[in-house]
Structure 1
Amino acid sequence: MAIHLKKISRTVVVAASAVAALGASFPLLAAAETFPSRPVTFVVPFPPGGPTDAMARTLGVALTQALGQSVIVENRAGAGGNIGAEALARAKPDGYTIMFGTSGPLAINKSLYSKIGYDPVTSFAPVIRVGYLPNVLAVHPSVKANSVQELIALDKAKPGSLNYASSGNGASSHLAGVLFNQKAQTSLQHVPYKGTGPALNDLLAGQVDMSFTDILTAMPYVQSGKLKIIGVATEKRSQAMPGVPTIAEQGLPGYDVSVFFGVVAPAGTPAQRIAILNQAFRKALVSEKVRTTFASQGLEPAPDLTAEGLGRFIPEEVAKWKAVVLASGAVLD
């Protein structure tokens, strides 16, 4: 009988120990399931001080409030955004490292760069499309065209006589002209510069005829009469210039060279955490501070704020820009 009691006693002790150990593990299990439980790193693949960095920092503040955890903006600049994108692709897929990407690293660079260490479609899990920055076709007042069709007619009358400035070979301002030539069957000549500043200076001086630039850069010069806008390079009209028709509605359907902004996480990030991040960004985007700041920067809201929407959009952009890059002949190392 004593032997049986010892066995029972030993069994009770073992069972009690197991229960105690399991109970001690409950807080750890709960912590593992709580997201986020520590700061989130928000990678910006461009230098500090630029428009993308400014938008990310505005979002970061609102996101901190929405998530209840600190959001640390980390600049990983270089190679047109590729350095930061490659770092994100290698990051642990736990939702604690995300990236604020643009058309470059999330669509164009795959075809533009000869060597790239990630794939914008397969290396990332989409979180949300934040918005897009409209580009415009800005023309020097000396050019005798006040619409896209008049510009096309000028080119047809004297092929190769009109030129456009860009911030460099392979830049979005270069590829915008390539796409325009493709759709309009024109022969606008490309004049590359080392940056937006030099290109704008020569445009204002009348050394070049036109440029595809962002709406914020062009606006002050349009207001002073130094430039004129003959078309907005987005699918829909800009809220900042509602009276200016799009290039698409002036006879070039499908023409859209706006710069989009989207948030992605490493591929394999749990869907539940993607959903939490998506909801936090939605909350941030409707806050008064973010809405007014983005509006002042010319950013248009995205038409679809779902993660799935960005997941469909990125492959479409990759395919569109692949054809444009091939036509341009631009290749970067």
Structure 2
Amino acid sequence: MNNLITLSRRLVAGLALASLATWAAAPAWAETFPSKPVQFVVPFPPGGPTDAMARTLAAELSQLLGQPVVVENKGGAGGNIGADYVARAQPDGYTLMFGTSGPLAINKSLYRKLNYDPATSFTPIIYVGYLPNILVVNPKLPVKTVPELIAYAKANPGKLSYASSGNGASSHLAGVLFNGMAGTDLMHVPYKGTGPALNDLLAGQVGMTFTDILTAKPYAEAGRVRALGVATLKRSQALPQVPTIAEQGVKGYDVSVFFGVVAPKGLPADRQATLNQAFARVLASPRVKQALADQGLEASPDTRPAALAQFIQDESAKWAKVMKAAGAMLD
């Protein structure tokens, strides 16, 4: 009888140890995801359109996931500082980036040294959409269409300047691409941000700029700038009456700021799927759709992770050609 009791005790103890060993060997990601706050990195300072869109998404995503989604601004070096931070983070789904054209496509060809690769350092989550750029001029400039602007620029080589929000910004590269495709010689004047660039345009210190449509819209509607052409292949829902630059003779001209959510490379497929589905639901919310449309966003029709991966690849190749032809490079 005592031997039977001893055997039973040993059997129970063995099963308990086996159970404990199985639990200890379970992978760390087996717990419910997410089970703690998610860090949503914006690689630019607070206050701009990227920051505003990220906060719109984060607020809705927090409710859906049942965990705080905390926006953290890590600006600098055209978005490279924030992108590098996310690329080096643990691939567990708790660090994400709301990336844009610069850090996810353009900067690879623009900067001499980059500590990450947009195509290989991240796991794509979702392609959110794009914010069209628009070509606007000071009303005193004697042009009302893109063909008239091109003719004026060619008749006055080197005399017409365009403002940008800084070297390497989409507003800078839009002019680089325009010069190459239209055969003009517009002079680039970089500023430290969109605000100073726009102020000098309004004051007539520069003749034109390529800026995001959200920034330009109130000034165009008030007659303080003249909108000549939208810099995307199709017209913007924000200013549908303004023709595209492409339809005015510069065929194929397409410059916008695209937005996508990425995680560090190596994110488990189940967490990638969970995050993709969550963001897709958020973007389908009527409240979020209206808020982003009010911010000028043109939503992506394809929210699969593969769509973002392909778009990053295509945009990187496009801007690599532009940089090579223009000889543009930053340290």
Q: TM-score, normalised by structure 2?
A: 0.91
> CA contact under 8 A between 2:217 and 2:239: conserved in structure 1?
no
Q: What stretches of structure 1 of length at least 5 have no aligned partner?
A: none
> CA contact under 8 A between 2:78 and 2:168: conserved in structure 1?
no
Q: Distance in 2 between matches of 1:195 and 1:264?
A: 25
Q: Distance in 1 between matches of 2:41 and 2:244?
A: 33
1:191-218 Cα distance to aligned partner (Å, 9 max, x none): 2333323322222222322111111222
Partner of 2:96: 98
1:131-170 alignment runs, 5 A limit: 131-170=129-168
> CA contact under 8 A between 1:178 and 1:327: conserved in structure 2?
no
1:79-123 Cα distance to aligned partner (Å, 9 max, x none): 221111111111111111111111111111112222221011100
231-240 or 182-191, which moves further after superposition?
Answer: 182-191
1:129 offset after TM fit, Å?
1.1
User: What is the letter of the counterpart of residue 16 of structure 1?
Assistant: L
1:1-333 alignment runs, 5 A limit: 12-13=11-12, 15-18=14-17, 20-21=19-20, 25=23, 32-333=30-331
Does the C-alpha gap of structure 1 residues 200 and 29 become closer, same or farther in structure 2, counting only changes over 3 Å?
Answer: closer
Does the C-alpha gap of structure 1 residues 57 and 194 become closer, same or farther in structure 2, counting only changes over 3 Å?
Answer: closer
1:265 offset after TM fit, Å?
0.5
Q: Distance in 2 between matches of 1:290 and 1:201?
A: 31
User: What is the letter of the counterpart of residue 32 of structure 2?
Assistant: T
Q: Distance in 2 between matches of 1:194 and 1:83?
A: 17
Q: Aligned with 1:264: secondary structure?
A: strand
Q: Distance in 2 between matches of 1:210 and 1:296?
A: 24
Does the C-alpha gap of structure 1 residues 27 and 68 become closer, same or farther in structure 2, counting only changes over 3 Å?
Answer: farther
1:216-245 Cα distance to aligned partner (Å, 9 max, x none): 222222122221111001121100111111
Q: Distance in 2 between matches of 1:119 and 1:31?
A: 26
> CA contact under 8 A between 2:129 and 2:300: conserved in structure 1?
yes
> CA contact under 8 A between 2:78 and 2:169: conserved in structure 1?
no
1:130 offset after TM fit, Å?
1.0
Q: Distance in 2 between matches of 1:233 and 1:273?
A: 36
Does the C-alpha gap of structure 1 residues 136 and 268 become closer, same or farther in structure 2, counting only changes over 3 Å?
Answer: same
Q: Distance in 2 between matches of 1:120 and 1:91?
A: 15
80-89 or 107-116, which moves further after superposition?
Answer: 107-116
Q: Aligned with 1:235: secondary structure?
A: coil
> CA contact under 8 A between 2:29 and 2:92: conserved in structure 1?
no
Does the C-alpha gap of structure 1 residues 201 and 10 become closer, same or farther in structure 2, counting only changes over 3 Å?
Answer: closer
> CA contact under 8 A between 2:98 and 2:262: conserved in structure 1?
yes
Q: Distance in 1 between matches of 2:12 and 2:223?
A: 88
Q: What stretches of structure 2 of length at least 5 have no aligned partner?
A: none
1:21 offset after TM fit, Å?
3.3
1:38-68 Cα distance to aligned partner (Å, 9 max, x none): 2211111122233222211111111112222
Does the C-alpha gap of structure 1 residues 169 and 21 become closer, same or farther in structure 2, counting only changes over 3 Å?
Answer: closer
Q: Distance in 1 between matches of 2:133 and 2:100?
A: 14
Q: Aligned with 1:58: secondary structure?
A: helix
> CA contact under 8 A between 1:78 and 1:84: conserved in structure 2?
yes
1:157 offset after TM fit, Å?
3.4
> CA contact under 8 A between 2:144 and 2:228: conserved in structure 1?
yes
User: What is the letter of the counterpart of residue 17 of structure 1?
Assistant: A
Q: Distance in 1 between matches of 2:248 and 2:322?
A: 20
Q: TM-score, normalised by structure 1?
A: 0.90
> CA contact under 8 A between 1:89 and 1:123: conserved in structure 2?
yes
User: What is the letter of the counterpart of residue 318 of structure 1?
Assistant: S
1:28 offset after TM fit, Å?
6.4
Q: Distance in 2 between matches of 1:101 and 1:212?
A: 20
Give me the CA root mean square deviation: 2.6
Number of residue pairs matched by the alignment: 331
> CA contact under 8 A between 1:203 and 1:209: conserved in structure 2?
yes
User: What is the letter of the counterpart of residue 51 of structure 2?
Assistant: D
